[in-house]
Structure 1
Amino acid sequence: MRVRGRLTWGRRARAGTALAALLAGVVTPAVVLTPPAAAGAAAAGTPVCQVRDNRLRELSGMVATDDGYVVINDGADDEARRRIFFLDKRCAVLRAVAYPSRPRDTEDLAIGRDGTVWVADIGDNDHSRATIALWRLAPGADEPVLHRMTYPDRPHDAEALLLDASDRPVVVTKGGSGTVFLYAPTAALTPGATTPLASVGQVTLPTTGTSNPFSFLGRGVITGAASAPDRRRVALRSYADAFEYDVPDGDVVRALTAGTPRITPLPDEPQGESITYSRDGRSLLTVSESADQPPGTRPTILRYPATDGPSAAAGPTGSVAPELPTQVRPIAEDTIGPSGRTWLLAAGAGTLLALLAVAGVLRWRHTARR
């Protein structure tokens, strides 16, 4: 999500990463950090087309259609950007559909079996929304219909939406430490009514070492999701990777909570929040925001080969405790000595103070920008 006048998650992540890096050299020598082993440098995606319309600088959701693509911005202040945009195969805008009322924070798209476009108005950086919403745009309709929903426990920030075999929506929260939560409506969605959501599971993401602008923070959040055209696979994406799950029986929740994902690195995308399958299901397509990039940078749709077949790269993720973003090798106890133990205690206290300092700086910047 990106909102002017407010410190966004991306900016908080960059600020926190930079400050933590400065402090790390002073307060964290108690452990030796080594990056996870890599099989080789991840390949960048192949460019498909470039989005040149100036209204489309904050892309947060995308689905592929037979004629091209449907895309949305996140919660843009500019009224002209609050649209559902239909693009041709060259990324040129064909038409734009306005909302009947102002959305709060549109973050993802999904497309039903009948061609209905679902817009996920589920972003909530401040965790303050009483309800979230889905906008349903039927084929040929002039405007989408609003459906409100409410969480059973507390507000969540979410940026990903999936549809199961019966087109039931499944909201995937953004998370933050490698664990995300799944919610689904308890009844059919009705315009003008608020439908309760139920917690239906949680997913622990595999640990990777894929390079991205937000370091390990970017590998532990979910920013988009997609269903294959035949509904037999789904994908979750972070700022760094795509995680594909097989859905052999149409049960998306069980696939995510008990399945073994196959990993496709999406290296160094500027701010990747969108993913979709190509219409033939053979490729994963992604696109990044370009609002904070150098002048002249345009969002570019990238193509990656979709994975096929089971993988032993990661185990089932539904109930596994989150792994650390890096492999931590402790210093052997018998090499420390009494003075070393005292130093380690001091270093541990320093680490805690550093984390508190990072949190304080981020809170101050957030308050100041508001």
Structure 2
Amino acid sequence: MGDVVFRALGAVVAAACVLLAFPAQATADDGQKRLFTFKDPRITESSGLAVSPTHDGVYYTHNDSSAAPTFYAVDGKGRTMATFQVRGAQARDWEAMAATKDPATGRGVLWFADIGDNLDGAWPDVSIYRVMEPQTLEDATLPATRYRFRYADGGRNAEGIMINPRTGRLYVVSKEFAGSVYAAPKKLRTDKTNILRKVASAPLMATDAAYAPDGSSYVIRTYFSATLYRPSGEMISRVSMPELKQAESIAYTADGKALLTGTEGPRSPVYRVPLPDNARSSTTPSPTSSTPTKNTTPASHTAADPGQTRAAGTGLTAKNILIWLAAAATALGTITFIARRTR
């Protein structure tokens, strides 16, 4: 078994060399600009990010794990406008949020995902909360509707959710070396656990995801870059991201022409990154392509598809590669140690 492990380590090193050999699709500063910095000292681990669907120039965020069920509304300069507590919710490990508009009432709807699971299956189920967007931006406590979820193929860690605005369907994106996009049932139930089923592949170690406001595309963020897809799961383009301390969040701007991305840490910045022309919201997908196609593999990373392997490397820096290699080497070293001890 030891020989197998060392061969695997060699493959990791070789893969990293391939990644370094491919340049990113766009330079790290192509039209990118810092939109604002969170000013509130309470926002220390901004993990979710969403643009208000009804209040112009308003953005929402929340902290990561070990925090109260709280979210913040900030303006275009990063100043907190209001703080909201969510009643009837827990914050075991909030990792993502999304914002939609109720087609029946026109009111905004906010979704908060308590889906983090660093032990990859320690929790029997995970929860996502639905909160009606406040019509007045002043401190308040808001009621939540709780939906419980379980993965059809076993528990896993996840940090991304997105909702197709055309169909209203919710998706969870897992954070793994071979990640996946999971679709929730068309109709969510509060009286039973909803089953999440894999419908597409996701890039390595996805940290967030979002749907375009018009439903024409979706984006999956990783620590290193972002990848755009059509609703069918077909890859559109890769987008290099600004180098951040710990890239955790992504969202589309209200007009669908750019992406917003943020990171954890006190006084963390949010950047605006323009979308490539072939991924603007004016692109209209086929009416039948509203759901990622099951078993599509636009974001899988196999040696048989150099283009897909390259996708994982878009925007990587030498520092990123070294960090990734160190983590991989540590994991493989642990496997080797266990193998030798259990002979």
Match of 2:200 among 202, 205, 214: 202
Distance 1:94 1:355, change over 3 A: closer
Match of 1:302 among 271, 296, 302: 271
Q: Which amino acid aligns with 2:195?
A: P
CA contact under 8 A between 2:227 and 2:235: conserved in structure 1?
Answer: no
Match status 1:111 vs 2:99? yes
Aligned to 1:184: 183
Q: CA RMSD in A?
A: 3.4
Match status 1:129 vs 2:126? no
CA distance in 2, matches of 1:353, 1:73: 31
SS of the residue 2:297 aligns to:
coil
Q: CA deviation at 1:134?
A: 0.8
Aligned to 1:211: none
Distance 1:304 1:356, change over 3 A: closer
Aligned to 2:159: 159
CA distance in 1, matches of 2:269, 2:329: 41
Aligned to 1:242: 226
Q: CA deviation at 1:187?
A: 5.3
Distance 1:224 1:304, change over 3 A: same
CA distance in 1, matches of 2:75, 2:329: 52
SS of the residue 2:143 aligns to:
coil
Distance 1:148 1:204, change over 3 A: closer
CA distance in 2, matches of 1:101, 1:157: 20
CA distance in 2, matches of 1:180, 1:354: 20
Match of 2:28 among 31, 42, 54: 42
Distance 1:358 1:95, change over 3 A: same
CA contact under 8 A between 2:213 and 2:252: conserved in structure 1?
Answer: yes
Distance 1:195 1:181, change over 3 A: same
User: Normalised by the size of structure 2, how large is the TM-score?
Assistant: 0.71
Q: CA deviation at 1:109?
A: 1.1
Question: Structure 2 regions of 5+ residues with no counterpart?
Answer: 1-5, 103-107, 135-140, 281-292, 304-308, 311-327, 338-343
* Cα deviation code 1:105-126 (max 9, x no counterpart): 1111111222101111111111
Task: Please show how residues 76-91 of structure 1 align to structure 2 within 5 Å.
Answer: 76=66, 78-79=67-68, 82-91=69-78
Q: CA deviation at 1:353?
A: 9.2
Question: Structure 1 regions of 5+ residues with no counterpart?
Answer: 1-22, 206-219, 247-251, 291-296, 327-351, 362-370
Number of corresponding residues? 276
CA distance in 2, matches of 1:355, 1:75: 24
Distance 1:309 1:131, change over 3 A: same
SS of the residue 1:261 aligns to:
strand
Larger Cα-atom Rg: 1
SS of the residue 1:72 aligns to:
strand
SS of the residue 2:235 aligns to:
coil
Q: CA deviation at 1:47?
A: 0.7
SS of the residue 1:357 aligns to:
helix
Aligned to 1:322: 301
Q: CA deviation at 1:262?
A: 0.7
CA distance in 2, matches of 1:310, 1:286: 17
| Identity in percent | 25
CA distance in 2, matches of 1:102, 1:60: 16
CA distance in 1, matches of 2:127, 2:153: 16
Q: CA deviation at 1:27?
A: 8.0
CA distance in 2, matches of 1:273, 1:359: 29
Distance 1:90 1:310, change over 3 A: closer
Q: Which amino acid aligns with 1:245?
A: Y
Q: CA deviation at 1:261?
A: 2.6
